[in-house]
Amino acid sequence: MKTDEGSRNVLPFQLQFDKPLASQVKMAAWNPEKDLLAMVTEDSKVVLHRFNWQRLWTISPGKCITSLCWRPDGKVVVLGLEDGTVSLHDVENGKLLRSLKSHAAAVVCLNWEEDAQVNRDTSGNSLAFEDRTTRFFPPSPRVPCMPGLVPGETGLNDDGQDSFVELSNSSKQCFNILCSGDKDGVLCFSIFGVFPIGNVNIHECDIPTMTKDRDTICRLLNASVRKVALSKDLCHLMVACSGELVEENVESRGGQTVGDSMHGFHCLVLDTSIFQKSKNELHQVAQQASNIEDLLHVVRTSLSVMHKQWADSMNIFHEKFDLLASLINDHGLDSSPQEEFLSLLGGARTSPAVHQFLVNSLGEVGMKRVSKVVCGAGKELQLVVLNHLQPAVEIIGFRMGELRGLSRWRSRYLGIGLDETLVDNAVEKAGMLLVQVERFIRVLSSVVQQFANFFSWLLKCIKQLMSEPSDQLLTYNSELVVVFLKFLYDQDPVMQLLDLSEADAEIDIDLETMERVRELVQFGGFGDSKYLQRTLAKEFQQMEHSGNSGINHCCHLLFEFQGSCPDAFFYYFKKDML
């Protein structure tokens, strides 16, 4: 390249760095706000470098990465995976923030666009959404972490959640949409990158074209999306795809198309003005629903943590006390551990099997260890319920109530699919879950109390059998020991409420309680009178999947609000599609 002044050569580009990597780079993207370059290598690793080639971190999702992009503020890097998953990672450390399975095929392109305009009404007032939850509730509970190996530790603090909360809140301040496309021609839209609002299959789009001096309507066959780009005002979506463009009325014979067709690359322009026209409504619903999704994650993790804590403690309990059944068989006795303990409680002569078990197999040290593990696990479960599970369910009920109020504003929210009937059902299910949590607290408290009473009695028995003083031990209640041996020794009502594998099992409810529930239904209570027969895990499972039956899942609106949007939303969307 020569200048006008002379023959002096001028280099249009200057090489800054020439640095090798361990594997070939197949895609890269600059951070829109910082001097950061994210690169994806052939061995499916994500490497983040500064402009001076300083490496910040490297992560490996474990799956083939097929696309890459940044959130508009540069704080989140987005990966599209071969299995159809879209994952969001923190720019600071590469930590996985959220994973969303929106596609059934490989995600080959991503585009995240933000609308910086502020919505205002006709009088010029801002229509920004005001979150009123903080007026009535403390800050939303965090996700509990799995406790360590030391008995008594809850491990509930996780400083790493601060970045997730901050990123989540900052993302929801502005209205932004993540668009992803897969190799099968499906486009998915997500507000904040985490709240799916719908999808479009380009094979179903009517494409007006001009062929042979006449207007025709065409369709794409065997098309794959290559690139997508939302306009700055979110009103148009550019889609670059490859496939076969054919007239809509062309016949197909023997698997082959008859008529004119055009093979190659095509560029479509879709009218997405509904994002702009209903921006405020979509923004408000997405904020509420995505916050509910965050709280659902808290509930889900709380149930998982409690399940593991209690299962581990019960394994230790049964590992020690199952030895008594073996000793009874070895001594040729025709009885059960419960019968032997009841005989001991009643003052009968101690059998050799029970004596050997309490003095030699279990002992004072073993008894104290089992008591510490079981009662400690019960206290940890109570902390998880009080600090995480119960507050999350209460806030879910409040947010669902606000969505219920929005759904009654039909002139503004019916157009985006906010259905009052479905939201009413979701509010009821949130209330049922809260009732189940209250019942779980009572059951857990009773079980822990009876375990502690049983262990106090056994410890006193061990002291007496070893002729040691037992006056300093805690007192026990004989009636509670009898109740424990009859109903809790070989049963576990806590695990029954927590175990998803037993979610189909029904809980026995007395006739008086059932009759009272039926009366409440008649007076305007819950429409489902059988909710007390379900476990806590089953109730939560129904809340998550209540929208699956008979609803077309084009968008993800929570509970039975899930799936209510597609018909109204995308019918309007398709009508305006070019």
> Measured between alpha carbons, how far is 120 from 308 in angstroms, rounded to an integer?
50
**Would you say residue 118 has pLDDT above 50?**
yes
* Res. 16 pLDDT band, cuts 50 70 90: confident
pLDDT at position 153: 42
The closest alpha carbon to 404, from 420, 417, 416, 390, belongs to 420
Asked, for residue 16, whether it belongs to a domain, the answer is no
Q: Residue 104: enclosing H or E segment and its boundaries?
A: none
Terminal CA-to-CA distance of the chain, rounded, Å? 44
Rounded to whole angstroms, what are the CA distances from 99 to 142, 359, 553? 18, 53, 18
Asked, for residue 471, whether it belongs to a domain, the answer is yes
DSSP letters, 175-188, are: EEEEEEEETTSEEE
* In contact, 496 and 537? CB cutoff 8 Å: no
Between 74-88, 139-153, 255-269, the lowest mean confidence (pLDDT) is in: 139-153
Average confidence (pLDDT) over 119-133: 56
Q: Between β-strands 252-253 and 236-247, what pairing exists: parallel, antiparallel or unpaired?
A: unpaired
Same domain, 270 and 341: no
Same domain, 259 and 301: no
Same domain, 301 and 438: yes
Q: Which of 250, 278, 306 is the last residue of a domain?
A: 278
Q: What is the pLDDT of residues 144-184, one digit of tens each?
A: 876 653 333 444 444 445 555 555 565 567 888 999 999 99
Same domain, 220 and 142: yes
pLDDT at position 548: 32
pLDDT at position 550: 24
Q: Residue 178: beta bridge partners?
A: 112, 190
Average confidence (pLDDT) over 280-308: 87
DSSP state of 471: T
Asked, for residue 428, whether it belongs to a domain, the answer is yes
pLDDT at position 515: 73
* In contact, 175 and 197? CB cutoff 8 Å: no
- CATH number at 74 reads 2.40.10.480
> Measured between alpha carbons, how far is 416 from 555 in angstroms, rounded to an integer?
11
Same domain, 322 and 461: yes
The closest alpha carbon to 77, from 25, 28, 143, belongs to 28
Rounded to whole angstroms, what are the CA distances from 46 to 70, 82, 93? 13, 15, 12
3-state secondary structure string, 383-425?
Answer: HHHHHHHHHHHHHHHHHHHHHHHHHCCHHHHHHHCCCHHHHHH
Asked, for residue 36, whether it belongs to a domain, the answer is yes
> Measured between alpha carbons, how far is 296 from 434 in angstroms, rounded to an integer?
13
**Would you say residue 471 has pLDDT above 60?**
yes
Same domain, 246 and 314: no
The closest alpha carbon to 178, from 103, 266, 240, belongs to 103
Q: Residue 234: beta bridge partners?
A: none
**Would you say residue 329 has pLDDT above 70?**
yes
**Would you say residue 303 has pLDDT above 70?**
yes
**Would you say residue 334 has pLDDT above 50?**
yes
Q: How many domains are contained in the chain? A: 3
pLDDT at position 539: 81
Asked, for residue 181, whether it belongs to a domain, the answer is yes
Give CB contacts under 8 A, 24+ apart, made by 319-322: 320/361, 320/362, 320/366, 320/370, 321/362, 321/370
pLDDT at position 502: 55
pLDDT at position 84: 93
* Res. 562 pLDDT band, cuts 50 70 90: very low
* In contact, 80 and 66? CB cutoff 8 Å: yes
Same domain, 178 and 264: yes
Higher pLDDT, 322 or 132: 322
pLDDT at position 154: 40
SS3 12: coil
**Would you say residue 358 has pLDDT above 50?**
yes
SS3 61: coil
Q: Residue 103: enclosing H or E segment and its boundaries?
A: none
Between 32-36, 352-356, 397-401, 504-508, the lowest mean confidence (pLDDT) is in: 504-508
> Measured between alpha carbons, how far is 86 from 99 in angstroms, rounded to an integer?
6
pLDDT at position 552: 30
Average confidence (pLDDT) over 499-524: 68
pLDDT at position 203: 85
Q: What is the phi/psi pair of residue 8, to 5°?
A: -70, 130
Highest average pLDDT, of 266-275, 405-414, 443-452, 468-477, comes from 443-452
Average pLDDT, the chain: 79
Same domain, 197 and 321: no
Please give the model's pTM, rounded to 2 decimal places: 0.77
* Res. 380 pLDDT band, cuts 50 70 90: very high
* In contact, 372 and 132? CB cutoff 8 Å: no
pLDDT at position 21: 79
- Rounded to whole angstroms, the maximal C-alpha distance in the chain is 116
> Measured between alpha carbons, how far is 20 from 39 in angstroms, rounded to an integer?
13
The closest alpha carbon to 374, from 300, 321, 437, belongs to 321
* In contact, 69 and 179? CB cutoff 8 Å: no
SS3 554: coil
Sequence-ordered list of residues with C-beta below 8 angstroms from that of 403, at least 6 positions apart, any chain: 285, 288, 289, 418, 423, 426, 561
Q: What is the phi/psi pair of residue 213, to 5°?
A: 60, 30
Per DSSP, helices labelled H in 239-336 are 274-277, 279-330
Instruction: Give the alpha-carbon dihedral of 365, 368, 372, 375, to 10 degrees.
Output: 150
Same domain, 97 and 222: no
Same domain, 261 and 322: no
Asked, for residue 575, whether it belongs to a domain, the answer is no
* In contact, 196 and 190? CB cutoff 8 Å: yes
Q: Which of 278, 307, 325 is the last residue of a domain?
A: 278
Q: What's the angle, vertex CA 157, arms to CA 162 and CA 193, rounded to 5?
A: 35
> Measured between alpha carbons, how far is 307 from 498 in angstroms, rounded to an integer?
6
Same domain, 238 and 158: yes
The closest alpha carbon to 578, from 207, 249, 179, belongs to 207
> Measured between alpha carbons, how far is 272 from 275 in angstroms, rounded to an integer?
6
SS3 80: strand
pLDDT at position 166: 57
- Its domain, for residue 368, covers 297-569
Average confidence (pLDDT) over 435-458: 93
Asked, for residue 4, whether it belongs to a domain, the answer is no
* In contact, 555 and 197? CB cutoff 8 Å: yes
Higher pLDDT, 506 or 75: 75
Asked, for residue 108, whether it belongs to a domain, the answer is no
> Measured between alpha carbons, how far is 363 from 368 in angstroms, rounded to an integer?
9
The closest alpha carbon to 297, from 393, 377, 386, belongs to 393
pLDDT at position 383: 94
Average confidence (pLDDT) over 230-247: 87
Same domain, 202 and 313: no
